[in-house]
Structure 1
């Protein structure tokens, strides 16, 4: 994301970040072979799929990394990526502690960001995996100063309670967890033994744990509602399927590679 088209902030760093950068001319070097338009990286958590791409950013300038103390603990302990990066670009850590109702607003590359705690799970490798806390999973509120509009970005969301509803309703655009269509999707497809709740994700459909993401988005007042972080087992990826038709009927979008949003 960028406020000026020159300085960019990454939200998470997935394993395919190299391919993403090559497909995005705005992020290509401008002032030398190892120049980068990436001003900072903001992590929602320390899940491997959200942090492995940090290693692909090792050859540029020192990484400006924003994350929670819990994520930093994982990335210097159980999965010591940040220690490894000190032998390359190095990392400057900017703590983003999670506070009920939201904490400090951070000014990053012309944007304002606030980390907010949301229900979820610590990574499987983390010693906190079995502890049900609100400190291992973050979402971010992003404000574009030029327009005053806000975006809610939450790729991992286990439940939508009152605090999450307030975030959703206060934004122009919401980008939320679209991992699974049903609670037992992975089990029913023979792809695993875990249910959506076991992995910290709220499915789109209602399930044994209560209303799904569709109900939450139906009640949301945001202008644009976009599902992100979609698992390859999710039938909403079939553009001609009934599940996609249901989303269209409800005014809910499905994110795709290369999608651009202007706020």
Structure 2
């Protein structure tokens, strides 16, 4: 399978439009060596075929499509390589790009859990709004360990598992999580036998989650914050990383510690990187530490072949 990282930043992108933290101010001024990033999303297609699956539809989807020719094969007057969309949660930065896909002649094929569908029909009624345009052909994602496929995308299958995290702020279960608010996905290529574990939002690593990570050929997981108190220390929020459903990279029990336990051959990548995270600065000690640990911060436009 071929994986294109369309966007690698957390909510708000990088630099964030209203932020003057050291990263955002520095990249605008040219004093910080860092690459701008759009909000996180990936596109996955089989080795033999043009059509694929969009995982998360960020508010930056139109910019991402313009910057990624693989999404527009131009086989007809109106065309797209997006055979279907899979959502890992109902957050604004992963779901509101669906609005931008409304100019279709047929309902948009969409896979999401029941709890995400509820949030996107009530708290943030994206699916109801789309019913006035192309409509949505919604397929539920089961959490029983059974794999599902997206028609038109041969050789690829997907298996979901519930994760510890946070539902969107407009969800009725924001503070009392239900299974399916946030999921991780194992993407499997039956032709090559390779797999990717994908979890851009990850609040804790349980034994089943670590097993899924350890048995995958590559992992692409939550890279939102470097420290638990990052936002508090910078004065941009009163909440810690774990309080809003993100496992920080550093510290005891952090993401780096878990990633270094994986088999040596596993490719390790971080996605959904918040604008405040010092790993964005390519000259920072934190960025160097990641590289020494064999961990890659994702960048917009990077491609992975498995």
TM range, smaller chain: over 0.9
CA distance in 1, matches of 2:180, 2:295: 29
RMSD (Å), alpha carbons: 1.2
Return the offset for 1:87. Answer: 1.3
> 242, 247, 251: which one pairs with 2:285?
242
Return the offset for 1:5. Answer: 4.1
Tell me if 1:214 matches 2:259. no
Tell me if 1:57 matches 2:101. yes
Q: Secondary structure at the match of 2:148?
A: strand
Q: Is the 8 A contact 1:15 1:50 kept in 2?
A: yes
Return the offset for 1:194. Answer: 1.1
Q: Secondary structure at the match of 1:105?
A: coil
2:249 maps to what in 1? 204
TM-score in terms of structure 1 length: 0.95
1:18-33 equivalences under 5 Å are: 18-33=62-77
1:225 maps to what in 2? 268
Which structure 2 residue ranges, 5 or more long, are not aligned?
A: 1-43
Q: Is the 8 A contact 1:13 1:50 kept in 2?
A: yes
CA distance in 1, matches of 2:239, 2:102: 34
Q: Secondary structure at the match of 1:70?
A: helix
CA distance in 2, matches of 1:142, 1:29: 23
1:154 maps to what in 2? 199
TM-score in terms of structure 2 length: 0.82
Give runs of ≥4 in structure 1 deviating > 2 Å: 31-34, 132-135
> 188, 193, 209: which one pairs with 1:143?
188
Which structure 1 residue ranges, 5 or more long, are not aligned?
A: none
CA distance in 1, matches of 2:110, 2:209: 25
CA distance in 1, matches of 2:136, 2:179: 25
Return the offset for 1:168. Answer: 0.5
* Greater length-normalized contact order (CA 8 Å, ≥ 6 residues apart): 2
Return the offset for 1:29. Answer: 4.7
Aligned length: 257
Q: Secondary structure at the match of 1:46?
A: coil
1:163 maps to what in 2? 208
Residue by residue, what CA displacement relative to the aligned partner does 1:195-225 show, whole Å, maximum 9, x if unpaired? 101110000012xxx5100010010125200
1:36-185 equivalences under 5 Å are: 36-60=80-104, 61-99=106-144, 103-108=145-150, 109-110=153-154, 111-185=156-230
CA distance in 1, matches of 2:121, 2:69: 32
1:257 maps to what in 2? 300
Q: Is the 8 A contact 1:34 1:59 kept in 2?
A: no
Return the offset for 1:30. Answer: 1.8
Q: Is the 8 A contact 1:119 1:133 kept in 2?
A: no
